[in-house]
Amino acid sequence: MKLSALLESLLFVAGEPVSPAQLAQASGFPEVEVTKALAALQEDYEEENRGLRLQRRDGRVLLVTNPAASLVVEAFLELDLRVQFSAPALETLAIIAYLHPVTRAQVEAVRGVDCSGVLRTLVQQGLVEEFDRLEGPGRPIRYAITDQFMQHFGLTSLDELPPLETDVEGAPAELADA
């Protein structure tokens, strides 16, 4: 069996993001070959505009459906995944997507308002997760986006986010450093 077909099978049954090292161990192929085969597989999916995509985040890979098919997939599964986000939720998601991992205080410094309720809701919806805790007073939680965020917004990589304009007059320092 070709390595690309084997990787497709493993990604299909994985159900959650996996690292190339995990795929190498399961397939018996060297990680370098697995990484090359994943890149070729992703290129094939994109060039042929196939129904599947490889979503990448934090060095892990997940097999997902093509965002262009989302309406048909939702109808087939009898789902209604169109969620209306409030402006504060979208602002908070954008800040976390561009600056992650980020603390609530850092999000609030950019937004200029309390974000605890919005963050709690985004965590409950599975779009944001607790990434880790900083060492130091209070050990604040740092937040990051999730694979569900990536799927919801049809992203296969955070590199697909539009470039951030940092030359906006009066923009907070956190954005200028992004």
Taking only the tens place, the pLDDT of each residue in 142-170 is 999 998 888 788 788 888 888 877 654 44
8 Å CB contact between 14 and 62: yes
What pLDDT is attached to residue 169?
A: 46
pLDDT at 132 over 80: yes
Instruction: Give the N- to C-terminal CA distance of the chain in Å, as an integer.
Output: 44
Read off the pLDDT of residues 110-129 as tens digits, 9 standing for 90 and up. 988 998 889 998 998 889 99
Query: Where are the domains positioned within the chain?
Result: 3-73, 87-176
Read off the pLDDT of residues 17-65 as tens digits, 9 standing for 90 and up. 999 999 999 999 999 999 999 999 999 998 999 999 998 888 899 998 8
87-176: CATH architecture:
Orthogonal Bundle (1.10)
Three-class secondary structure assignment of the chain: CCHHHHHHHHHHHHCCCECHHHHHHHHCCCHHHHHHHHHHHHHHHHHCCCCEEEEEECCEEEEEECHHHHHHHHHHCCCCCCCCCCHHHHHHHHHHHHHCCEEHHHHHHHHCCCCHHHHHHHHHCCCEEEEEECCCCCCCEEEEECHHHHHHCCCCCHHHCCCCCCCCCCCCHHHHCC
Domain 3-73 of CATH type 2.40.30.170? no
